[in-house]
Amino acid sequence: MIADISQRLQILAEYKKLGARFKLLLEASPTITYAIRMSKPPECTYVSDNVSRLLGYDSREILADKKFWHRHLHPDDRRWVIKESQQRIQDGAGYLEYRFRHADGSWRWIHDAFRVIQTGQGPQLLGAWTDVSQRKQAEQERDRIEIELRLAQKLEAVGQLASGIAHEINTPIQFVSDSVYFLKDAFADLDRLLVRYRGVLMAHTGQTPPLEEIQQAEEEADLAYLREEIPGAFERTLEGRERVARIVRAMKEFGHTDQRERSPADLNKAIETNLTVARNEYKYVAEVKTEFGQLPQVECLISDLNQIFLNLIVNAAHAIAEVVKANNDKGEIRIRTYQGWKRGCHRDRRHRHRHPARNRRPHLRPLFHHQGGRQGYRPGTGHCLQRGGQTRRQAHL
């Protein structure tokens, strides 16, 4: 029997063309495709040939080695990648990004996306690998630039506050110095008095020393004054040392290296630190009142929060200074922390007078904005409330 198979041959030829095009497409693709039979143990049944171009391995080498994927994972990634991939496979689909060793020994970042499908031969895992090393390097460079930018902003703020901090340190150092010089002179007076005592005692051995001569020596040394002032000089010295130590601790905490991961932090302590650092900015224009509530440790990037708290305090001081400078008055910065809705809260009020809340908003007008130079920092903006000829400043976070 003779049958015409021309159409069948034509179809086969078309299939071959499509297969060749598909193979060419896979080889030119930036994505490596693979298939794994979900048997026990799982078996890799297909890897596209472009794996040799992208990762430097022959596909037959990968198919022959059942532990190839495990052995080429980065040691720091291996445990969590295996654990997470098993969870994603149970979910039916997912993706991971991890480091994989190239044939030249370098590490490449791989985006691995996969899905489980049901076939006549059982479940199969179909996936695709994409080399995202360049994107990861760009992200790392962006993160590095962001860290450097935050550090530069922090250094800028510290630089702008440096003269005030120097003044804050100089003041206690000055009265420590004055107290030390006083104690030095007092010791010299007491030493001369002791010499007179010993001279009188030796001159009147076995006799009662003349009280008049002793009293004269004490008056010349001003003993009553020394007994009254020396304890105060010690107290001032210790207080000055403590104030300098407190400022240094605050600067150390404020200048803490930026962290990349959240960690527990005490917000009340952070605010106190920034009040110490910025004291010279507000002490001449405003009184600061703090009401610290009981706050739990908060998971946060404390270095970023320190910058924000500092900005708010300095902006508050500058905003108040613009208003009170004409009448030499002082405003008030009130800071209250409390816990609400399971979150820590911070409120910054600037010389606020009581009146109904419904009357506040219509009278709010911007008082202070960042103007470059020394005045003001971002973020944080003061507002001024005017009503009935009186000026009220307030701001909230």
Convert the pLDDT of each residue in 263-314 to its tens digit.
Answer: 888 899 889 888 888 888 888 888 899 999 888 888 888 877 887 888 888 8
Residue 171, domain member (yes or no): yes
Q: Residue 2: inside a domain, yes or no? A: no
Phi-psi region of 275 (alpha: psi -120 to 50; beta: other; left: phi over 0): alpha
Higher pLDDT, 208 or 262: 262
For residues 285 and 188, membership in a common domain is answered with no
Q: Encoding tokens for residue 353?
A: 């007078």
* Residue 197 and residue 216 in contact, taking contact as beta carbons nearer than 8 Å: no
Whether residues 267 and 364 share a domain: the answer is yes
Nearest Cα to Cα of residue 313 among 360, 273, 340: 273
Mind listing the pLDDT tens digit for each residue in 28-86?
678 898 999 888 888 888 898 888 888 999 988 999 888 899 899 999 999 999 999 98
Residues 266 and 396 in one domain: yes
pLDDT at 311: 82
Using a pLDDT cut of 90, give the percent of the chain over it: 17
307 and 397 co-located in one domain: yes
Looking at per-residue confidence, does 103 or 278 come out higher?
103
Q: Residue 366 domain-assigned? A: yes
Q: Is pLDDT above 50 for 127? A: yes
The token duo for 332 is 């008030």
CA–CA separation, 223 and 53 (whole Å): 94
Residue 14 lies in a domain: no
**Together in a domain, 296 and 351:** yes
d(CA 243, CA 169): 8
CA 357/CA 204 separation, integer angstroms: 84
Is residue 129 within 8 A of residue 34, CB to CB? The reply is: yes
Amino acid at residue number 21: R
Say yes or no to pLDDT of 358 above 50.
no
**pLDDT level of residue 377 (50, 70, 90 thresholds):** very low
Same domain, 281 and 210: no
Whether residues 214 and 159 fall in one domain: yes
Helix (H) or strand (E) holding 68: helix 68-71
End position of a domain, from candidates 258, 276, 294: 258
In the predicted structure, residue 211 carries a pLDDT above the cut 90:
no
Q: How would you list the strands of the sheet with 343-350, edge to edge?
A: 286-292, 331-340, 343-350
The answer to whether 113 touches 32, Cβ cutoff 8 Å, is no
> Which residue carries 């149970």 as its tokens?
90
The answer to the question of residue 23 being in a domain is: no
Confidence at 193, pLDDT banded by 50, 70, 90: confident
Residue 360 has pLDDT above 70, yes or no: no
Which of 225, 243, 258 lies at the terminal end of a domain, its last residue?
A: 258
Sign of the dihedral defined by the CA atoms of residues 137, 141, 142, 143, in that order: positive
Reported as a single tens digit per residue, the pLDDT across 228-242 is 888 888 888 888 888
Residue 298: per-residue pLDDT: 86
User: Does a structural domain hold residue 393?
Assistant: yes
The answer to the question of residue 19 being in a domain is: no
User: Rounded mean pLDDT of 319-327?
Assistant: 82
| Per-residue pLDDT band at 214 (split at 50, 70, 90) | confident
Shared-domain flag, residues 247 and 119: no
Does 230 fall in a domain? yes
112 and 57 assigned to the same domain: yes
**DSSP code of residue 128:** E
Domain that holds residue 193: 147-258
- Of the pLDDT bands very low, low, confident and very high (cuts 50, 70, 90), residue 96 is very high
Q: Are residues 266 and 384 in the same domain?
A: yes
Q: What is the mean pLDDT of the chain?
A: 76
Same domain, 114 and 209: no
- Judgement on whether residues 268 and 253 belong to the same structural domain of the protein: no
CATH of the domain at 353: 3.30.565
Average pLDDT over residues 360-366: 34
pLDDT of residue 25: 65
- What's the structural domain count of the chain? 3
Q: What are phi and psi of 116, to 5 degrees?
A: -95, 130
